[in-house]
Amino acid sequence: MKIRAPAKINLTLRVVGKRADGYHLLDTLMVPVSLYDEIEIRQARRAASRQSVPPAPIEVRCSHPQAPLGQDNIAYRAAELLMRKAKMGQPVVIRIRKKIPIGAGLGGGSTDAAAVLVLLNRMWKLHLSVRQLERLALQLGADVPFFIRAKPARARGIGEKLRVLPKLRRRWLVLAYPGFPVATAWVYGNLPPKLTKLSVNTSIATPLESLDKLEKLLVNDLEQVAIERYPEIGRVKTMLSLAGAVGVLMSGSGSSVFGVFKSKRLAERGFRRMRHEEGVQAFLVHVLN
């Protein structure tokens, strides 16, 4: 069985506090976009004879040479988690065809983990509800529950408090990956103290249908920290603006930047320009509902 696992962008990301256990509290608007990893899961054949070595309960194969394998891969941990809950012993092989850059702030690992939960739920006919899968997903990472539904949503808390947004008009974007990953833990660890003080209430306006108000929406409290350490991210933002984007922002903890365009035609023009920039990997995508 196969499933496509979409990337996401953060249209807004505000850090509104910090818990005693060190987790940061967020208020963010996350939107899935049409850049996908492909996940395929099949049941592994058991050993043909007693002399054969039995297969491992879970095997992960990935097309990206830098992706971790075994228990270091979050897709492995997702399968292991569901296997324990369902008390399943049938070995499985997980194949990941990576197209979402690693360490790019696009949720590549989280979406793969969510896809594994969804696909195994179907394969094993477990009939777990969306909410049950989301609760399991939270054990794997703060972003993983969002990808169970993979619909535009406002996320609060550490990412577990999700509210699905109304259907959005299709918007065309250009994603630009500057060729290097950024460690999420490093970014959060270097936030200025003023960004981690508890805020009584932070409201996010959602002018998602108005390009005139888009600049008020595109805010990322992690961006400045990342750009100070990696100036290339700021340079890519400038490139996208010059390519015609009406709004530009770093996604998540970086390093990818997205540009919002007024039309598909203008986005295609911006994409053609960005794909020729040295060291930059560009993707033409649209918002998913």
Q: CA triplet 274, 279, 283: central angle to 5 degrees?
A: 40
One-letter amino acid at 86 equals: A
Cβ distance 119 to 83 under 8 Å?
A: no
Residue among 27, 37, 112, 143 flagged as catalytic: 143
Query: Does the annotation mark 8 as catalytic?
Result: yes
User: Smallest Cα–Cα separation from 258: which of 5, 30, 26?
Assistant: 30
First to last CA, the chain: 23
Q: Which DSSP letter does residue 173 get?
A: E
152-161 burial, b for 16+ CB within 10 Å, e for fewer?
bbbbbbbbbe
113-138 burial, b for 16+ CB within 10 Å, e for fewer?
bbbbbbbbbebbeeebeeeebbebbb
Cβ distance 116 to 78 under 8 Å?
A: yes
Alpha helices in the chain (DSSP H): 74-86, 108-123, 130-138, 144-149, 184-189, 214-217, 223-229, 231-242, 264-274
Tracing tokens 């970086």 back to the chain, one arrives at: 254
Which residues are part of the catalytic machinery? 8, 143
